[in-house]
Structure 1
Amino acid sequence: MEANFENLKVMVIDDSKTIRRTAETLLSKVGCAVITATDGFDALAKIADSKPDIIFVDIMMPRLDGYQTCALIKNNSEFKKTPVIMLSSKDGLFDKAKGRIVGSDQYLTKPFSKNELLDAIQSHVAAA
């Protein structure tokens, strides 16, 4: 079954330009509207305006890390149902558990593949 990614608004929060660009390229190709942010503060300012359907957030970021960013998103009544997928270069149980505590919906280890990205979107958004 081919999922429909047309006009889905996907936010990618990562302080790595490479990751942002890679995700943006992959997602744009399937029809997603991609909003990128460089860190949690940048993201929080953009979320209110763009109301993304799903958010990918890197854990290791300066100023406001992925856990704090996810917690802030999930604590906001308007966005608490928005799926948040954690991205990390570490594949640790502790990180996954901590991600769940702050309310994240899934955990992807970097480097992620195009399919992992699309599967995550499909399982959380296409189902909605």
Structure 2
Amino acid sequence: MEQHSESLKVMVIDDSKTIRRTAETLLKKVGCDVITAVDGFDALAKIADSHPGIIFVDIMMPRLDGYQTCALIKNNSAFKSTPVIMLSSKDGLFDKAKGRIVGSDQYLTKPFSKEELLGAIKTHVPGFVPVEQATT
């Protein structure tokens, strides 16, 4: 009997279209279901609807930044166990520390590689196995 596991839902929150598209392309190639959001407000509504298994959030965003978005996700009892990975173009200790304070699970510096993205998912989503989609 063929085992069919539901594809992992991954949310990518970034105000950069390029970053969203890059992450979405990489993640879809390994069989993930990708939900993107342009900022924290956009994301919060989508999180409630889609219940992603892991969330990548950019720190520098208009309206609601990554720290505020992460804090709101982690303060919601329904989502506090959802891994949140911060994305930043700055590799600062201060940013990493601040990310930990608001409850983020990991910190990736942009530009991130496919390996870093998948590594973060493997670390925080037990049982995730990337399925390389055959590109025809």
TM range (shorter): over 0.9
AA paired with 1:65?
D
Q: CA RMSD in A?
A: 1.3
Deviations 1:5-55 (A, max 9, x none): 960000000000000000000000000000000000000000000000000
What is the CA–CA distance in structure 1 between the aligned matches of 2:69 and 2:89, rounded to whole Å? 17
2:107 is paired with a residue whose SS is strand
What is the CA–CA distance in structure 2 between the aligned matches of 1:102 and 1:96, rounded to whole Å? 10
AA paired with 2:62?
P
1:126 is paired with a residue whose SS is coil
TM-score between the two structures when normalised by the length of structure 2: 0.89
2:98 is paired with a residue whose SS is helix
> Offset of 1:127 from its aligned partner?
5.4
1:11 is paired with a residue whose SS is strand
Q: Pairwise mapping of residues 32-51 of structure 1 onto structure 2 (< 5 A)?
A: 32-51=32-51
Greater Cα radius of gyration, structure 1 or 2: 2
The residue number in structure 2 matching 1:99 is 99
The residue number in structure 2 matching 1:28 is 28
Contact kept? 1:27, 1:34, Cα under 8 Å = yes
Structure 1 stretches of 4+ moved >6 Å: none
> Offset of 1:126 from its aligned partner?
2.2
The residue number in structure 2 matching 1:79 is 79
What are structure 2's unaligned runs of at least 5 residues?
A: 129-136
TM-score between the two structures when normalised by the length of structure 1: 0.94
What is the CA–CA distance in structure 1 between the aligned matches of 2:117 and 2:17, rounded to whole Å? 17
What are structure 1's unaligned runs of at least 5 residues?
A: none
What is the CA–CA distance in structure 1 between the aligned matches of 2:127 and 2:60, rounded to whole Å? 29
Q: Structure 1 residues 6 and 25 mapped into 2: Cα distance closer, same or farther (>3 Å)?
A: farther
2:125 is paired with a residue whose SS is helix
Contact kept? 1:13, 1:36, Cα under 8 Å = yes
